[in-house]
């Protein structure tokens, strides 16, 4: 996903970082590259202009240029502005307080409506009883496709009687059917056309009037570039969309729709289709998208930091610790000392492409002054305690607190932090170097 865009960004930011000090001209030159990369990713001219202007205002200020790490600051600003145009807050799917909730899935033919209707039904079936309804009567195969997918996923299905030709009537009948079968959520899978089509819009408007949906979700193929944005605008004008679902994000989508739909139409992207299987549906997360686009650049920064702060002796010790299946307090002490050299841990974690990695350690609060206490606490443990922290119970905790000049509460916190780090180290050890190219490089560094 977004490979080309990612590569372009990577080259812009790595050449900028190579410079050390930056002038306003340097930043402007880099932003021209950013602009070109976005246009090539098929983001519309207007959206690119808005984005680049916003970045420029923030990135050419004296506070940024005179800072010790101007290139990193510019990268951070770009990252934040990418999030801003995609929508900072996540936009969840909503449920009507008065069941059954109706969702209407609309979109062009082939965009992924039928597949996504079943994916979404499956996803919602954790807390609801969904019913998928075949309202695409134009192609006989469409009804069968939905029925087959629903059966496979274990989702209830409702379709037309033989010979039935009115999709609005099917939608109406499905409400009574849902009530009789205690289904709390109805997903209407509607017909699409290859192009925007007035007759279809009229049909959908009638359906919307007769069976008022709580969500009108436009399913858009993310591979279609700017066309996706135009389609979203027209559907939104006619039907009043509540959300967009971008499909085929697992392919080589260039990024245009993901970046521009919210900015152009005001309609939030709520979900992302990541594959053909029923479970391949994710919440659309602008932060994760921005990290994916910026990912390499960020990792470059982290690599640089690591290279600067890690001596060969450190690297060898860390390598030992990651290779072992056990993570002890001694390892933790070493990692804490390493982290101290890198800077604020949450910033470091943000740079790592570990899903949930930053969240996993959130609240761990590993700032410099805390690290001093953590070190003191670990140093007050006996050898045996450091090797098997599980044995550190009540009286040992009191002794360690006294010995380190801290409190039992702080010892408890450190032990909790140890557990979190242990989990984190495991996931770092398990990381697939292919999907996380640079993280793989990071592991090599530790090897
Ligand atoms: P509809 O005409 O809008 O109902 O589209 P379909 O649901 O029939 O999907 C068209 C094709 O796109 C099918 O072959 C799906 O398997 C495929 N498809 C849908 N969503 C995704 C996705 O997120 N990733 C991939 N790779 N394929 C998808
Ligand atoms: Mg279909």
Q: Are 86 and 229 in contact (CB under 8 A)?
A: no
Output the pLDDT for position 194: 81
- Using pLDDT thresholds of 50, 70 and 90, give the confidence band for residue 323: low
The answer as to whether 76 is a domain residue is yes
Output the pLDDT for position 368: 58
CATH code of the domain containing 59: 1.20.120.140
CATH code of the domain containing 307: 1.10.260.30
- Domain check: are 28 and 117 in the same one? no
User: Which residues make Cβ contacts (< 8 Å) with residue 8, sequence separation at least 6?
Assistant: 33, 36, 37, 40
77 vs 424, more confident: 77
Task: Identify which of 263, 240, 131, 251 has the alpha carbon closest to the alpha carbon of residue 188.
Answer: 131
Asked whether the predicted pLDDT for residue 341 surpasses 90, the reply is: no
Give the 3-state secondary structure of residue 270: strand
Q: Whose CA is nearest to atom 20 of ligand 1?
A: 112
CATH code of the domain containing 233: 3.40.50.300
- Domain check: are 10 and 81 in the same one? yes
- Domain check: are 354 and 289 in the same one? no
For the chain, how many structural domains are there in total? 3
Domain final residue pick, 296, 323, 356: 296
The answer as to whether 93 is a domain residue is no
Highest mean pLDDT among 16-30, 31-45, 171-185, 249-263: 171-185
As given in the structure block, the two tokens for residue 383 are 């050898």
- Domain check: are 69 and 111 in the same one? no
Output the pLDDT for position 179: 95
Give the 3-state secondary structure of residue 271: strand
Output the pLDDT for position 363: 47
* Mutation pick for ligand 1 pocket among 276, 277, 278 (CB with most ligand atoms within 8 Å): 276
The answer as to whether 96 is a domain residue is no
Domain final residue pick, 269, 296, 323: 296
The percentage of the chain sitting over the pLDDT mark of 70, rounded to a whole number, equals 80
- Domain check: are 352 and 403 in the same one? yes
Mean pLDDT of all residues in 187-209: 92
- Using pLDDT thresholds of 50, 70 and 90, give the confidence band for residue 262: very high
- Domain check: are 279 and 332 in the same one? no
Pick from 49-63, 178-192, 293-307: least confident: 293-307
User: Which residues make Cβ contacts (< 8 Å) with residue 127, sequence separation at least 6?
Assistant: none
- Domain check: are 154 and 17 in the same one? no
- Domain check: are 140 and 271 in the same one? yes
Asked whether the predicted pLDDT for residue 343 surpasses 70, the reply is: no
- Domain check: are 317 and 253 in the same one? no
Asked whether the predicted pLDDT for residue 370 surpasses 80, the reply is: no
Rg value, the chain, Cα:
26
Closest ligand 1 atom to Cα of 272: 23
The rounded distance, in Å, linking the Cα atoms of 243 and 258 is 13
| Global confidence as pTM | 0.69
* Mutation pick for ligand 1 pocket among 1, 110, 111, 115 (CB with most ligand atoms within 8 Å): 115
- Using pLDDT thresholds of 50, 70 and 90, give the confidence band for residue 439: very low
Identify the helix (H) or strand (E) that includes residue 247.
strand 243-247
Output the pLDDT for position 306: 56
Mean pLDDT of all residues in 124-147: 93
Asked whether the predicted pLDDT for residue 93 surpasses 90, the reply is: yes
Residues flanking ligand 1, CB < 6 Å: 107, 109-115, 192, 219, 247-248, 250-251, 273-276, 280
Task: Identify which of 130, 132, 134, 146 has the alpha carbon closest to the alpha carbon of residue 95.
Answer: 130
Q: Whose CA is nearest to atom 5 of ligand 1?
A: 112
Output the pLDDT for position 431: 45
Mean pLDDT of all residues in 180-198: 92
Q: What are the start-end ranges of the H helices in 276-407?
A: 286-309, 312-323, 329-342, 345-351, 357-360, 368-379, 383-387, 394-404
Output the pLDDT for position 359: 47
The answer as to whether 94 is a domain residue is no
Maximum distance among all Cα pairs of the chain, rounded to whole angstroms: 83
Task: Identify which of 180, 189, 190, 178 has the alpha carbon closest to the alpha carbon of residue 130.
Answer: 178
Q: 221 C-alpha to center of ligand 2: Å?
A: 13
The answer as to whether 142 is a domain residue is yes
- Using pLDDT thresholds of 50, 70 and 90, give the confidence band for residue 318: low
- Domain check: are 308 and 355 in the same one? yes
- Edge-to-edge strand order for the sheet containing 281-283? 156-158, 130-135, 185-190, 101-106, 215-221, 243-247, 269-273, 281-283
Digit-coded pLDDT (tens) for 326-335? 778 888 888 7
Output the pLDDT for position 138: 85
- Domain check: are 290 and 316 in the same one? no
The answer as to whether 160 is a domain residue is yes
Closest ligand 1 atom to Cα of 280: 23
Q: Which domain range does residue 198 map to?
A: 101-296
Digit-coded pLDDT (tens) for 32-75? 999 999 998 888 899 999 999 999 999 888 888 887 778 878 88
As given in the structure block, the two tokens for residue 402 are 């006294």
- Domain check: are 292 and 308 in the same one? no
Please, which residues have CB less than 5 A from ligand 2, an ion? Answer: 113-114, 142
The answer as to whether 95 is a domain residue is no
Output the pLDDT for position 193: 84
Q: 117 C-alpha to center of ligand 2: Å?
A: 9
Q: 128 C-alpha to center of ligand 2: Å?
A: 23
The answer as to whether 47 is a domain residue is yes
Ligand that comes closest to the CA of residue 167: 2
Output the pLDDT for position 225: 84
Domain final residue pick, 86, 115, 147: 86
């Amino acid at each position: 996903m977004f490979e080309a865009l990612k590569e372009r960004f990577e080259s812009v930011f790595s050449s900028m970082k190579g410079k050390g000090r930056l002038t306003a001209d340097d930043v402007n030159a880099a932003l021209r590259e950013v602009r070109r990369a976005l246009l090539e990713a098929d983001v519309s001219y207007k959206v690119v202009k808005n984005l680049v202007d916003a970045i420029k205002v923030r990135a050419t200020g004296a506070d940024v240029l005179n800072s010790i790490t101007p290139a990193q600051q510019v990268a951070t600003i770009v990252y934040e502005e990418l999030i801003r145009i995609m929508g900072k807050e996540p936009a969840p799917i909503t449920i009507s307080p008065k069941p059954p909730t109706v969702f209407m899935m609309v979109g062009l033919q082939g965009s992924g409506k039928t597949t996504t209707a079943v994916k979404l039904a499956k996803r919602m079936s954790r807390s609801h009883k969904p019913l998928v309804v075949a309202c695409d009567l134009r192609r006989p195969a469409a009804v069968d496709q939905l029925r087959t997918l629903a059966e496979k996923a274990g989702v209830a299905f409702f379709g037309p009687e033989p010979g039935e030709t009115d999709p609005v009537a099917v939608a109406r009948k499905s409400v009574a059917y849902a009530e009789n079968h205690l289904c709390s959520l109805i997903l209407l899978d509607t017909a699409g056309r290859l192009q925007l089509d007035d007759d279809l819009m009229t049909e959908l408007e009638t359906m919307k009037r007769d069976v008022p949906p709580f969500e009108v979700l436009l399913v858009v193929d993310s591979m279609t570039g700017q066309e996706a944005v135009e389609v979203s605008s027209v559907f939104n004008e006619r039907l009043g969309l509540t959300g967009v679902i971008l499909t085929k994000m697992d392919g080589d989508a260039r990024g245009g729709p993901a970046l521009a739909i919210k900015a152009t139409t005001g309609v939030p992207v709520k979900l992302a289709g990541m594959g053909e299987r029923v479970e391949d549906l994710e919440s659309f997360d602008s932060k994760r998208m921005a990290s994916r686009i910026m990912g390499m650049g960020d990792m470059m920064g982290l690599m640089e930091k690591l290279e600067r702060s890690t001596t060969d002796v450190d690297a060898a010790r860390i390598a030992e610790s990651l290779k072992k299946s056990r993570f002890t307090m001694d390892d933790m002490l070493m990692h804490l000392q390493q982290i101290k050299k890198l800077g604020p841990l949450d910033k470091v974690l943000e740079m790592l492409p570990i899903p949930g990695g930053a969240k996993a350690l959130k609240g761990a609060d590993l700032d410099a002054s805390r690290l001093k206490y953590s070190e003191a606490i670990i140093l007050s443990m006996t050898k045996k305690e450091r090797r098997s922290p599980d044995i550190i119970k009540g009286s040992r905790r009191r002794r360690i607190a006294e010995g380190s000049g801290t409190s039992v509460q702080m010892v408890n916190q450190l032990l909790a932090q140890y557990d979190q780090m242990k989990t984190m180290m495991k996931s770092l050890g398990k990381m697939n170097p292919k999907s996380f190219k640079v993280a793989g490089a990071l592991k090599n560094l530790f090897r």
